[in-house]
A and B are shown apart, each in its own frame.
Chain A
Amino acid sequence: MSSKYAGRARGNTLLDVKKLNVIYGHGKDSVHAVNDVSFHIKPGEIFGLVGESGCGKSSLGKAIIRLTDPTSGTIDFNGVDVASLKGRALKTYRQEVQMIFQDPYGSLNPRMKVGSAIVDVLNVHKIEANKAERKERVVELFEAVGLKADWAWRYPHEFSGGQRQRICIARALALNPDLVVADEPVSALDVSVQAEILQLLEELRAKRNLAFLFVSHDLAVVRNVCDRVAVMYNGEIVEMGDVEDVIDHPQHDYTRKLLSAVPAF
C-alpha cells in the first residue's frame, strides 16, 4: 500500500498504539476498560475492531481520539506520542484524527444549521481565510459526501438518519484528517442505507487515502470493508490479523464463539 503519505509516516505506520490502558474510577469501584492493548494502523487502511458491547472497543476508540484520557501506554501518531497532549497541541492533533459516532440523531446539534456547525469548526481551526471561502468549503464537503449543496443551511431534524450520518462524515472531513475513528457508524441505520454509507467510506479511502479505525459488533460489515481486524474481549485484544484469516480461520475460542453467533458464516 504505497501512498503519498508513505514518506511522512514512519515505517509505513500511521498510528501505533502500545500497551494502552484505560481505567475508569478509583479503588475497588474502578473498571479496567482497556487492558494492555497494542496494535497499529497503516495509512489508507481500514482497521476493524470487533467485540460484543462492553468489551472496551468504544473506550479504545475514544482514548485514541482523546475523548477519554488513557491511564497508561503510548499512542504514537505520525511519530508523536499523543497520549498526554494538552491544550494547543491537542487541538492540532484534532485536525489529524476525527470521529464518526454511532447515533446520527444525537451527534448533530439540534439548534444549529448543519452547515453552520461545520463553519464553526473551520472558524475554530482557522481553516480558510474568510466567511465566503468557508461556505464554499462546506459546499465542497457536502458534495463529497453525496449531499446537495443547498441542504447545508437546514436544521438536523429535516434529514433522515442516513443523510445525517453523511453530514457527520462531512463534518469529520472538514479538518482533512488522516485517520477517522468510526464508532459503529452504520449500526443505527437501515440495512439498505448501511450499504450506501459503507460505500461512501470506501470511496473516501480510495480518493483521500484516509485510514479508518472501524469499531463494530457486526462481523458481516467488518468482513465487507476492513483490511485487517482485531478481536477484543474483556478489554484485551485476543486475536488480530488480515480480515480473511481471522474470520475464516479463527484461532481464539472467543472469536469462534463470536462467529458462531452470526448466521451468515
Chain B
Amino acid sequence: MWGDAWRRLRKNRVAMLCLALVALFTLMAVYGELVYRYHDFKDITPSYQKTHLDLAFQPPSSKHWMGTDGLGRDVMSRLVQGVTIAYKVGIITSLIAIPIGVFFGCIAGFFGGKVDDFVVWLYSTFASMPGLLFILAIAMVVGKGLLGIYLGIGLTTWVGICRLVRGEVIKHKSQTYVQAAQALGLGSGRIIFKHILPNISHVIIVTFTLRFPAAVGTEVFLSFLGIGVQDQPSWGLMINSARMRLWQGMWWEMTFVTLAVFLLVLAFNLLGDALRDALDPRLND
C-alpha cells in the first residue's frame, strides 16, 4: 500500500515540488534549532537577536539578502528562526492532539455503546466551542508564551482527528479480521492498537499534514496579537513589527515573512491533498 502510494505520488509533479519545499523548510527548522541550542548552550546572544541601530532599515543587499529590521537585525536569519518556531508549534500541537484524538476515536469506535456515547458527547462539546476565541481563551488562562499556544491549539484540534479515527475504526471493526482476532482470544487493546491502528495510519498521516499548516497559521495570529511567542523571532511578531514599517516604505521584512508563511502553508496543504489522493481516494473532508 505504501509502495503504491509512493508511486502515485511520484507521478504528481506538484506534489513532488511541495515535498521538496517541505524538505527545505524542515532543513531550515533543524538548522535554526541547532543555532538556537548552540547559543543557548554557550550562553551568548545570537546574531539574530543583537541590535545594531546604525544598521536599521537597510534594504536587501549582498550582505543582508532580505535587508534588516528596525533594530538592525538580519531579516533572513530571523526568518529561519521563525521556521523553527513554526515547526515546533506544528509538531508539538500534533503530539498533543493526535494521541488524544486517536485514543478516544479508537475506544469509541471499537467498544461502541456507553463509551461511544461519552466520547461523542465530549467531542461535540469541544466542537461547539467557537474556534479561535476558544484557543485565545485557553492561551489567556494558561498564560502568555509558547505553552499557551501549544495547549490552545492542541486541545482544540483533537476533535477532528477523533471523529475521523472513530469512523475508520467502526468501518474496520465489522471486518472479519477483527472478529477472527477476537475469536483467537486477542485482547481488545491489542486488537485496537496492533491490528486496527496500522490499517488506519494513513488517515492519521494525512490529517497531520493538513493540521500542520493550520497550526502554523494560528501561531502567527496569536503571536501577532501578542499572546503567543514573547521574545523569540516568530513570524507573527515579525509581521506585527513590519506592519507599521510598511507604511514608511520598508517593504522587505513584510514581503519576505508573508512569502515564507504562504509557501510553508501552501506546500503542506498541497502535499496533504496529494497524499490523501495517493493513499486513499475515498477520504475527503
Contact = CB atoms under 8 A, between A and B. Distances in A.
Interface of A: 65, 67, 90-91, 94-95, 98-99, 101-103, 106-112, 120-121, 124-125, 168, 171-172, 174-175
B190 interface: yes
Contacts, number: 60
Given A109-B195, A111-B199, A120-B194, A171 B180 contact: yes
Contacts of B51: none
A35 to B, nearest CB: 23
B121 interface: no
Contacts of A109: 177, 181, 195, 198-199
B177 A106 contact: yes
A94 B185 contact: yes
A94 B194 CA distance: 19
A102 B180 CA distance: 11
B190 A124 contact: yes
Nearest to B197: A111
Main secondary structure on chain B at its contact with chain A?
A: helix
B180 A168 contact: yes
**A65, A108, A112: residue with the most chain B Cβ atoms closer than 10 Å:** A112
Interface of B: 1, 175-177, 179-187, 190, 194-195, 198-199
A125 B186 CA distance: 8
A171 B185 CA distance: 12
Given A110-B199, A112-B195, A124 B185 contact: yes
A91 B184 CA distance: 8
Main secondary structure on chain A at its contact with chain B?
A: loop
A124 B176 contact: no
A175 to B, nearest CB: 7
B5 to A, nearest CB: 13
A94 B179 contact: no
A101 B190 contact: no
Of all A-B residue pairs in the complex, the 8 with the closest CB atoms, nearest first, are A94-B185, A107-B176, A106-B176, A111-B198, A99-B183, A109-B177, A91-B185, A101-B176
B199 A94 contact: no
Contacts of A106: 175-177
A30 B199 CA distance: 33
Given A111-B198, A112-B195, A121 B176 contact: no
B194 A101 contact: no
